[in-house]
């Protein structure tokens, strides 16, 4: 949109867009409550949510602005809930308000808790559908897409005009002037191909969901979340209504045995060995050993996963759920075993060869889907600034 004359190729290793994270998540449109005021994540989430709703309306993509209720069920959670409210106000999140027990029950009649935080502008959508709409827009503007093109090499080309050659596993090639990678679960693998460091490494965490049985679905009309515990790395198990009327509960968070390991039986020994042999991962495993074991137990025993939900919806039992979908989260980790929650860009500016013409987006953290259009603007700025590009410089020719 910024440079209509550009020739741009979009390369995807799967047979369809949104095959992994973008098409396998809870579908929530986040409002921006959780993030540190003034942080890039807070700014991009709030801006991205507004852009997302505008886009969905323009494209007539179905969504529901069903809201989110964050529930404190113990007195020790109330200070953290008040902190979330304060963060939301500072981040510019509109219309949020604190609720007492009566106020919560007006929104969710069967909800139990001491105090709640209501975010009416949180919504739900099928992000896979949105992703495919983005791709369609891209093609309508003249962009070229290549599916089933798994990048294996990024090498220097003989042509001075298009010095980067991208090669797949079948020896098909694309020649380009400049390259941006944003590869999610495979982002570290691709970055290493051009001489970048292994860190931050991507640790795949599988998130498993449950479905409420049909006769219980009508009880849940809004997202219901716990108050996050800062001792643990993820937000926690929540209830989310889907556009088709179903309700999902989850996710848990357990180490996947491969970067695309959606089931316990999915494993890749090479990837698993690379993960567990990392000093950073060993530090991470020690730090969250108890948390990890509990998450594995929840995966195997459904009643354990339901205990969290029963704190704020008492009448839901293990018999009211069945196993549902799974997703795999690309969690970036630094060499010291810390989970990376900010954006990470990597390249070799000033160096010789292909590395100088490639910018890697190695981490686009949650809420990446909500923030997508705001992230796109930032990455376009980054590309222009990184390579001092003008519209005339940015012309990219692709040949297969």
Evaluate if residue 160 carries a pLDDT over 70.
yes
Return the CATH number at 133.
Answer: 3.50.50.60
Residue 303 lies in a domain: no
Distances (CA, A) of 351 to 190, 195, 347, 354, 375: 18, 11, 9, 9, 26
**Can you give the pLDDT at residue 351?**
57
DSSP E strand stretches across 100-212: 115-119, 123-125, 144-146, 151-156, 164-168, 173-176, 179-181, 201-212
**pTM of the predicted model, to two decimals?**
0.93
Evaluate if residue 282 carries a pLDDT over 50.
yes
Closest to 31 (Cα-Cα) out of 363, 373, 371, 377: 371
Average pLDDT over residues 220-244: 90
Split at pLDDT 50, 70, 90, the class of 391 is very low
Residue 43 lies in a domain: no
Q: From CA 362, how far away is CA 234, in angstroms rounded?
A: 20
Residue 231 lies in a domain: no
Residue 118 lies in a domain: no
- Say how many domains are in the chain: 1
Q: Count of CB atoms within 10 A of residue 184's CB?
A: 20
| Range in 96-105, 187-196, 326-335, 384-393 the model is least confident about | 384-393
**Can you give the pLDDT at residue 326?**
96
Q: What letter would DSSP give residue 158?
A: S
Residue 176 lies in a domain: yes
Residue 196 lies in a domain: yes
Average pLDDT over residues 259-272: 95
% of the chain at pLDDT higher than 90: 78
Residue 397 lies in a domain: no
| Range in 279-283, 344-348, 365-369 the model is least confident about | 344-348
Report phi then psi at 95, rounded to 5: 70, 15
| Range in 16-30, 60-74, 99-113, 347-361 the model is least confident about | 347-361
Residue 117 lies in a domain: no
Q: State the SS3 of 3-43.
A: CCCCCCEEECCCCCCCCCHHHCCCCEECCCCCCCCCCHHHH
Average pLDDT over residues 373-390: 86
Domain ranges, residue 159: 9-19+129-200+341-387
């Amino acid at each position: 949109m910024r440079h209509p004359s550009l020739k741009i190729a979009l390369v995807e290793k799967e047979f369809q867009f949104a095959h992994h994270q973008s098409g396998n998540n809870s579908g929530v449109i986040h409002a921006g409550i959780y993030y540190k005021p003034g942080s890039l994540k807070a700014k991009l989430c709030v801006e991205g949510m507004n852009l997302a709703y505008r886009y969905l309306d323009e494209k007539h993509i179905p969504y529901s602005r069903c809201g989110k209720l964050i529930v404190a069920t113990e007195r020790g959670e109330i200070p953290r809930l008040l902190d979330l409210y304060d963060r939301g106000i500072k981040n510019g999140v509109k219309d949020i308000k604190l609720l007492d027990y009566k106020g919560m029950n007006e929104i969710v009649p069967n909800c139990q808790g001491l105090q709640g935080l209501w975010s009416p502008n949180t919504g739900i959508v099928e992000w896979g559908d949105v992703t495919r709409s983005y791709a369609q827009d891209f093609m309508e503007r003249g962009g070229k897409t290549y599916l089933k093109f798994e990048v294996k090499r990024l090498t220097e080309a003989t042509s001075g005009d298009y010095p980067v050659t991208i090669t797949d596993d079948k020896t098909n090639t694309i020649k380009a002037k400049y390259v941006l990678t944003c590869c999610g679960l495979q982002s570290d693998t691709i970055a290493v191909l051009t001489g970048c460091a292994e860190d931050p490494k991507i640790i795949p965490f599988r998130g498993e969901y449950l479905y409420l049985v049909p006769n219980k679905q009508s009880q849940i009309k809004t997202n219901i979340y716990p108050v996050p515990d800062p001792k643990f790395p993820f937000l926690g198990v929540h209830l989310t209504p889907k556009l088709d009327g179903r309700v999902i509960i989850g996710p848990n968070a357990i180490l996947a045995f491969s970067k695309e390991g959606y089931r316990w039986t999915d494993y890749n020994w090479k990837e698993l060995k690379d993960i567990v042999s990392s000093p950073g991962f060993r530090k991470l495993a020690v730090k969250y050993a108890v948390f990890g074991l509990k998450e594995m137990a929840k995966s195997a025993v459904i009643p354990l996963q339901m205990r969290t939900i029963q704190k704020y919806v008492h009448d839901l039992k293990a018999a009211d759920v069945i196993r549902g979908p799974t997703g795999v989260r690309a969690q970036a980790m630094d060499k010291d075993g810390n989970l990376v929650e900010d954006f990470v860009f990597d390249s070799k500016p000033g160096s010789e060869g292909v590395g100088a013409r490639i910018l890697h987006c190695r981490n686009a953290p949650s809420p990446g889907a909500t923030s997508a259009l705001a992230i796109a603007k930032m990455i376009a700025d980054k590309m222009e600034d990184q390579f001092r590009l003008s519209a005339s410089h940015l012309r990219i020719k692709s040949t297969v």
